[in-house]
Amino acid sequence: MREGHLRRVGAVALAALAIGALARAATLREPAALEGQPLLSAATWPAEPPFPHRDRPPPPPRPVTAIPAGRPAVRVPILMYHYIRVNPDPRDVLGFNLSVTPADFAQQMDWLAAAGYNPVDFDDLRGYLLGHGGLPANPVILTFDDGYRDMYTTAYPILRAHHFKAVSYVVSGCVNSPLNLTAAQVLEMDANGIEIGAHTVSHADLTALSAANLQHEVADSKASLEALVGHPVLDFCYPSGRENDAVVRAVEAAGFQTATTTEPGVLHSASDRFLWTRVRVSGGEPLWRLAADMGPAEPGEPVIPSPPPPTPLHGPPRMPVTWPLRPPRTAPQAAPPLEGAAP
Ligand SMILES: [Zn+2]
């Protein structure tokens, strides 16, 4: 009798947990643009444009876990993509290596979802390392270098179908070029879960530039993208991973908060935030290779009653959390005399 009662109580508690998780998932999926608007009847609901992968069922609820605050370094694989396309020229080996086919990319995103990975962005990682916000367990950051147009036409619909955040590193001087993102595409993605980062004005080798040209490539790309999206652009990526001390100093002096390289690695902390390593995803590589390169995920702990909120997927970004800029390096100044101290 007592055992039956306990079983019923347990079943009710489990059902309540499942309903809670489903409700949270539903909240996550509600576009902010619809909030506060009257509901339309089915007859007046506008027809949706064709949207591949849209009908994927929501994943089954799994235990809610998060990374507890205070870890000084966290394993967050930062995946590095370039083109999401079928390489058009079979003789172009470099192009092949930089091109993940749409089918492979969709399979990789399916695997990330099935394996319980949670894509976050650099704002989330900055917030965690600064003690301002939480991170879900198994975090991963998806970055797309160079701002190619297939980021919008091919990757973005697949990311949206999974409700995944990502980061687009845009070469500011190439916006609106035939192979690159248009300004309107950058704006649309910026408002829908894709963080915009800077990747210089012209994709120059920053280690080979004069001080003035280095400043132009770094600072002007930031200013130009900020003028486009209307909010701070705080994350940078060194073209071809080319950096040295002077380049890193220029990126920090321009007001960026993080920068990524092409060196392999997954463990990141505040102290190395201008040299964050990444996981390269190459054309034709099998899924097991990607899983091996990512290594074991950062474990979380059960969260009661709900995980700390990462930045929203839709709508304008929250105020970014930032490290204070270091003062310029000058000769140390003598401390002022203490009040009341003997001269
Ligand atoms: Zn690049």
User: Locate tokens 């643009």: which residue?
Assistant: 33
Q: Residue 334 in 3-state DSSP?
A: coil
Burial of residue 165 (number of CB atoms within 10 Å: 0-12, 13-18, 19+)? buried
Which backbone phi and psi does 35 adopt, to 5 degrees? -65, 140
Alpha helices (runs of H) in 90-141, residue ranges in sequence order: 93-97, 102-114, 122-129
pLDDT for 249 beyond 70: yes
150 residue type, one letter: D
From the CA of 241, how far away is ligand 1's center (Å)?
A: 8
From the CA of 312, how far away is ligand 1's center (Å)?
A: 27
Is-contact 165 195, C-beta < 8 A?
A: yes
From the CA of 240, how far away is ligand 1's center (Å)?
A: 5
From the CA of 280, how far away is ligand 1's center (Å)?
A: 12
From the CA of 167, how far away is ligand 1's center (Å)?
A: 13
Rounded mean pLDDT, 274-290? 97
Band of residue 315 on the pLDDT scale cut at 50, 70, 90: low
What's the CA gap between 307 and 45, in Å, rounded?
33
Per-residue pLDDT, 331: 45
From the CA of 200, how far away is ligand 1's center (Å)?
A: 9
Is-contact 201 223, C-beta < 8 A?
A: no
Give tens-digit pLDDT for 165-208: 999 999 999 999 999 999 999 999 999 999 999 999 999 999 99
From the CA of 260, how far away is ligand 1's center (Å)?
A: 11
User: Locate tokens 């300004």: which residue?
Assistant: 183
Rounded mean pLDDT, 331-339? 47
Band of residue 66 on the pLDDT scale cut at 50, 70, 90: confident
Q: Please choose, from the candidates 82, 126, 111, the residue with its C-alpha nearest in 3D space to the C-alpha of residue 262.
A: 82
- The dihedral through the CA atoms of 199, 193, 151, 177 has a sign that is negative
From the CA of 315, how far away is ligand 1's center (Å)?
A: 27
From the CA of 267, how far away is ligand 1's center (Å)?
A: 22
- State the architecture of 73-302 in CATH terms: Alpha-Beta Barrel (3.20)
Is-contact 128 135, C-beta < 8 A?
A: yes
- What is the residue-wise DSSP string for 194-226? EEEEE--SS---GGGS-HHHHHIIIIIHHHHHH
From the CA of 82, how far away is ligand 1's center (Å)?
A: 8
From the CA of 243, how far away is ligand 1's center (Å)?
A: 13
Per-residue pLDDT, 319: 58
From the CA of 230, how far away is ligand 1's center (Å)?
A: 23
From the CA of 253, how far away is ligand 1's center (Å)?
A: 21
From the CA of 146, how far away is ligand 1's center (Å)?
A: 5
Rounded mean pLDDT, 138-144? 97
Q: Please choose, from the candidates 126, 205, 120, the residue with its C-alpha nearest in 3D space to the C-alpha of residue 165.
A: 120
Cis peptide before 305 (omega within 30 of 0): yes
Per-residue pLDDT, 341: 42
21 residue type, one letter: A
From the CA of 202, how far away is ligand 1's center (Å)?
A: 10
Look up the pTM and report it: 0.75
Relative to beta strand 258-264, strand 235-237 is: parallel
Torsion of CA 310, 312, 318, 320, to 10 degrees: 40
E-assigned strand segments in the chain: 65-67, 73-75, 78-81, 83-84, 99-100, 118-119, 135-136, 139-145, 166-170, 194-198, 235-237, 258-264, 267-269, 276-280, 301-302
Is-contact 170 196, C-beta < 8 A?
A: yes
Residues facing 237 on adjacent strands: 260
From the CA of 296, how far away is ligand 1's center (Å)?
A: 27
Percent of the chain past pLDDT 90, that is, above it, reads 63
- 136 CB neighbour count, 10 Å cutoff: 23
From the CA of 168, how far away is ligand 1's center (Å)?
A: 11
Rounded mean pLDDT, 304-333? 56
What's the CA gap between 222 and 207, in Å, rounded?
18
Q: Residue 7 in 3-state DSSP?
A: helix
From the CA of 145, how far away is ligand 1's center (Å)?
A: 5
From the CA of 174, how far away is ligand 1's center (Å)?
A: 12
Q: Please choose, from the candidates 329, 324, 163, the residue with its C-alpha nearest in 3D space to the C-alpha of residue 234.
A: 324
Per-residue pLDDT, 298: 87
Band of residue 68 on the pLDDT scale cut at 50, 70, 90: confident
From the CA of 171, how far away is ligand 1's center (Å)?
A: 8
Residue of higher predicted confidence among 3 and 192: 192
